[in-house]
Amino acid sequence: MRPRLQLSAGARPLNFTVRRLTVGSTIAPKIFACSGTVLLASVLGGAVVLGTAVCSTAVAQTEPHAGSFVCPVTVVNGGKGGTTYGNDVLEVGLWPQDFVFKPGGPGFVDSDGALGMKVMWNRKKRGHLEVGGRRLDGEAKPVRAYFGDAGEIGGQPTYLVFPTPGCWQVTGYVGDGSLTFVVSVEKIGEGPSWRFNGPPAGMRVSMVDRPK
């Protein structure tokens, strides 16, 4: 018989962390806020222990993955700390490894419902930054980026804009070089209160699609 974790009727709602249990996985854990009764899993002495808990009414909006798809989220420095991911061409600051758009949190909702987050790129080689990307777990319009003129070398603040929640592969390009990473995008409730109406004045849109 499966052991079950019981909460009293008056138990407070909670958020909790879930990790898909895959051997050798480097996928970052995800934090969910969910409603009703949910399944929790943990590992005790190599055995999977299942239980239930009552969660909050705010639901993380992630569209179902096909089959056993696991989003291969890029983990910075092997999960040992730090936020900078890069190579000899580009670096990017992935301070939220999962991009969670929630009330009171960072980011914005664009006029078409897309979800935007500010990130900082650092160009190690001279050239103009271009950005593109695609959803890995479903059909969606490509990633777009908003940014202004920051010269041809060094830092480049950018708004990354994701058309939907899901698993997204993003690539930055400078000249013939590139840097690719994968993030999980989630939306809770109405998302953050900040609203955009397309790119701010003085910014351009980058939505590059180059074959890898």
pLDDT tens-digit map of 155-167: 999 999 999 999 9
Question: d(Cα 193, Cα 191) in Å, to the nearest integer?
Answer: 7
Question: d(Cα 187, Cα 165) in Å, to the nearest integer?
Answer: 6
Q: What single DSSP character describes residue 158? A: E
| Ramachandran class of 166: left when φ > 0, alpha when ψ lies in -120 to 50, beta otherwise | left
Are 147 and 159 a contacting pair, CB within 8 Å?
Answer: yes
* Residue 53 pLDDT greater than 50, yes or no: no
Question: First CA to last CA across the chain, in angstroms?
Answer: 50
Question: d(Cα 53, Cα 6) in Å, to the nearest integer?
Answer: 7
Residue 78 vs residue 106, higher pLDDT: 106
Q: Tens digit of pLDDT for each residue in 116-127?
A: 999 999 999 999
Burial class (CB in 10 A: 0-12, 13-18, 19+), 128: middle
- pLDDT of 96: 59
Residue 48 vs residue 63, higher pLDDT: 63
Burial 111-123 (b: 16+ CB within 10 A, else e): eeebbbbebebeb
- pLDDT of 35: 35
Residue 49 vs residue 152, higher pLDDT: 152
* Residue 192 pLDDT greater than 90, yes or no: yes
Are 30 and 18 a contacting pair, CB within 8 Å?
Answer: yes
Residue with tokens 């096909």: 66
Q: How confident is the model at residue 51 (pLDDT cuts 50, 70, 90)?
A: very low
Q: How confident is the model at residue 79 (pLDDT cuts 50, 70, 90)?
A: confident
What separation in angstroms does the CA of 180 have from each of 2, 149, 183? 42, 22, 10
Average pLDDT of the chain? Answer: 75
With the CA atoms of 188, 118, 212 and 61 taken in that order, what torsion angle do they form, in degrees rounded to the nearest 10?
0
Closest CA to 7 of 44, 51, 75, 54: 54
Q: Tens digit of pLDDT for each residue in 125-155?
A: 999 999 999 999 999 999 999 999 888 999 9
Q: How confident is the model at residue 11 (pLDDT cuts 50, 70, 90)?
A: very low
* Domain ranges (residues) in the chain: 16-58, 76-206
- pLDDT of 44: 34
Residue 16 vs residue 97, higher pLDDT: 97
What separation in angstroms does the CA of 178 have from each of 19, 124, 173, 203? 30, 11, 4, 22
Structure token pair of residue 175:
């000249």
| Ramachandran class of 167: left when φ > 0, alpha when ψ lies in -120 to 50, beta otherwise | beta
> pTM for this one?
0.68
- pLDDT of 127: 93
* Domain 76-206 CATH superfamily: Immunoglobulins (2.60.40.10)
Rg of the Cα atoms in the chain: 19
